[in-house]
Amino acid sequence: MGEVGGFKKFSRVKAPERAPGERIGDHLEFVRALPLVELREQGARCMECGVPFCHHGCPLGNLIPDWNDLVYRDRWREAIAELHRTNNFPEFTGRLCPAPCEAACVLEIEEGNAVTIKQIELSIVTRAWEEGWIVAEPPRERTGRTVAVVGSGPSGLACAQQLNRAGHSVTLYERDEAGGGLLRFGVPDFKIEKHVVERRIAQLADEGVELRFGLDVHADDLDGFDASVLCIGARVPRDLPVPGRELEGVHYAMEYLYGRNRSVAGTAEPGITAAGKHVIVVGGGDTGADCVASAHREGAASVTQIELLGEPPASRPDDVTPWPLWPAKLRTSYALDEGGEREFAISTARLEGDGRVERIHWCRNSGVPPFEPIPGTDAARPADLVLLAMGFLGPEPALLDELGLERDARSNVATSNYASSVPGVFAAGDARRGQSLVVWAIEEGRRCAAAVDAWLADVPVSRAAAGAQA
């Protein structure tokens, strides 16, 4: 597996990035690929582990040692075949996944030494597209069954593709004007350029998936399908219940990011701008980082990102998250590399302004639940734009209520093997498991498709489906 002793011979080399001062001047992707020789060396570092814990770390169960070895041996076409066995869209995960596989790599026992799995994955699929190895794979025959998939994010795309390739006639619905969900409208171009999403949607269309975009689906739209799958995400944002929340200039992060993505695409003028403003981003996750980086590119006067939790340790705390678990340690986002400030253990007290937000007041807290305020730490900052990026609470309820679906304790769709409380209605992705990673979304879509396929095998063909097939 790889080169014997390669992990001793070759050091870990991260993917190169464009300099922050250069990249904030445009919206192009900033992560670059290593030269071919160096990529093969990185593949050579993969050990012949008795138990490859990277499989444990990857929700998709990607066959990581196999395609690392194939890259080392310069067998790229075989590598993409192995990669596609478990992952429909490795160019999505290769750009956006935080790589829990690398945290679980045996070499990561020595912290910071893992195989560069993520960049090898992205290099494989990038070359496959360049060489023309990725083509439409329509089914040889149709089953006569019809399935509606609602939502075209990574979960919906994966589910639709798997069901279509199984021979079912799939209609993919999306309420936005184009497909991709948050991949297209929530994640900025400098992390994933939109042609990357568009070519996969084109692949689905070429395989026979019917695309219906710009339609806000209601329960009666799903009548006549043998099965329906809800991949509608967890789009209800967590709010900030403090005095001044109602002021102009206080927005949910996705309101801002959706506008920015449409503006960059040239399809709409943004209703919210950070240009020349003092921007406060409330929330320390990926969405918050995307807000910070977008504000940089607009020319904000200042950007500050605040986090409720206390600052984590600089290295993996083995008493809390030992290897191979995802380590709860300090990470600095690409956005903060570009500029801005970050504050930990901050509780927002109130927002002030004359009709429009002008200042934010906060205090330090204990850094751990219940986040007790620390006396004498009150402070205020200028704030012309406040973006709330504090995560999501669950799926929007309208369609779920129309269908009469049961929910779990977190307001997600309650399921058993992806089947909801209503026969023939399934759920996958964030709508089922809550806000999560792109890699989990793809895995959910794939597993849900398998569950739907098995369920359809035991259900008679409906008259509507039979008529459509005829």
pLDDT band for 462, please (50, 70, 90 cuts).
low
The boundaries of the domain holding residue 298 are: 239-390
Distance separating alpha carbons of residues 40 and 411, to the nearest angstrom:
46
Same domain, 326 and 407: no
Output the pLDDT for position 4: 83
Same domain, 249 and 227: no
Has residue 125 got a pLDDT over 50?
A: yes
Q: Which domain-ending residue is among 360, 390, 420? A: 390
Average of per-residue pLDDT across 91-110? 97
Has residue 212 got a pLDDT over 70?
A: yes
**CATH code, domain carrying 426:** 3.50.50.60
Distance separating alpha carbons of residues 91 and 105, to the nearest angstrom:
21
Long-range contacts of 271-277 (CB under 8 A, 24+ apart): 272/385, 273/298, 274/298, 274/299, 274/300, 274/303, 274/385, 275/299, 275/300, 276/300, 276/301, 277/301, 277/384, 277/385
Q: Which domain-ending residue is among 369, 390, 411? A: 390
The answer to whether position 140 is within a domain reads: no
The overall average pLDDT reported for the chain is 96
Q: Is 386 helix (H, G, I), strand (E, B) or coil?
A: strand
The answer to whether position 178 is within a domain reads: yes
Asked whether 115 and 107 are in contact (CB, 8 A), the reply is yes
> Is the N-terminal amide bond of 16 cis, ω within 30° of 0?
no
Has residue 383 got a pLDDT over 50?
A: yes
The answer to whether position 444 is within a domain reads: yes
The answer to whether position 69 is within a domain reads: yes
Same domain, 168 and 289: no
pLDDT band for 1, please (50, 70, 90 cuts).
low
Q: Where are the alpha helices (DSSP H) in 25-176?
A: 36-44, 53-57, 64-72, 76-84, 90-96, 100-103, 117-131, 154-165
For 133, residues 6+ apart whose C-beta sits below 8 A from its C-beta are 77, 80
Place of tokens 């020319």: 299
Reported in sequence order, the residue ranges of 155-270 that DSSP labels E, i.e. its strands, are 169-174, 210-213, 227-230, 236-237, 250-252
Has residue 469 got a pLDDT over 70?
A: no
Nearest CA among 5, 30, 25 for reference residue 15: 30
Asked whether 66 and 336 are in contact (CB, 8 A), the reply is no
Q: What angle do CA 284, 285, 288 make, to 5 degrees?
A: 75
Read off the pTM. 0.95
Q: Which domain-ending residue is among 355, 390, 425? A: 390
The answer to whether position 377 is within a domain reads: yes
Q: Is 315 helix (H, G, I), strand (E, B) or coil?
A: coil
Distance separating alpha carbons of residues 424 and 403, to the nearest angstrom:
11
Same domain, 14 and 66: yes
Place of tokens 């459509």: 468
Has residue 31 got a pLDDT over 70?
A: yes
Q: Using DSSP, how many helices (H) and how many strands (E) does the chain show?
A: 19, 15
Has residue 463 got a pLDDT over 50?
A: no
CA distances from 2 to 50, 60, 387 (A): 14, 22, 46
Has residue 466 got a pLDDT over 60?
A: no
Partner residues linked to 213 by β-bridges = 174
Average of per-residue pLDDT across 139-155? 98
For 9, residues 6+ apart whose C-beta sits below 8 A from its C-beta are 3, 44
Same domain, 302 and 186: no
Same domain, 256 and 193: no
Average of per-residue pLDDT across 456-465? 70
Residue 278 φ/ψ, nearest 5 degrees: -85, 115
Q: Hey, what are 440's tokens?
A: 């989990």
Distance separating alpha carbons of residues 103 and 86, to the nearest angstrom:
19
Pairing of strands 278-282, 302-306: parallel
Distance separating alpha carbons of residues 401 and 396, to the nearest angstrom:
9
Q: Hey, what are 294's tokens?
A: 């977008």
Same domain, 329 and 365: yes
Output the pLDDT for position 468: 38
For the stretch 292-309, pLDDT in tens is 999 999 999 999 999 999
Angle subtended by helix axes 36-44 and 117-131, to nearest 10: 130
Output the pLDDT for position 63: 94
Output the pLDDT for position 2: 67
Pairing of strands 341-343, 302-306: parallel
Q: Hey, what are 404's tokens?
A: 């009469």
Output the pLDDT for position 461: 72
Asked whether 44 and 72 are in contact (CB, 8 A), the reply is yes
Same domain, 215 and 304: no
The answer to whether position 151 is within a domain reads: yes
The answer to whether position 289 is within a domain reads: yes
Same domain, 276 and 332: yes
Average of per-residue pLDDT across 131-159? 98
Asked whether 303 and 343 are in contact (CB, 8 A), the reply is no
Distance separating alpha carbons of residues 297 and 184, to the nearest angstrom:
18
Same domain, 271 and 374: yes
Q: In one letter, which amino acid is 388?
A: L
Same domain, 374 and 258: yes
Output the pLDDT for position 45: 96
Same domain, 93 and 152: no
Average of per-residue pLDDT across 442-463? 90
Asked whether 272 and 376 are in contact (CB, 8 A), the reply is no
pLDDT above 70 covers a percentage of the chain that reads: 98
Has residue 467 got a pLDDT over 60?
A: no
The answer to whether position 136 is within a domain reads: no
- Count how many domains the chain has: 3
**CATH code, domain carrying 19:** 1.10.1060.10
Has residue 323 got a pLDDT over 90?
A: yes
Asked whether 434 and 220 are in contact (CB, 8 A), the reply is no
Q: In one letter, which amino acid is 442?
A: I
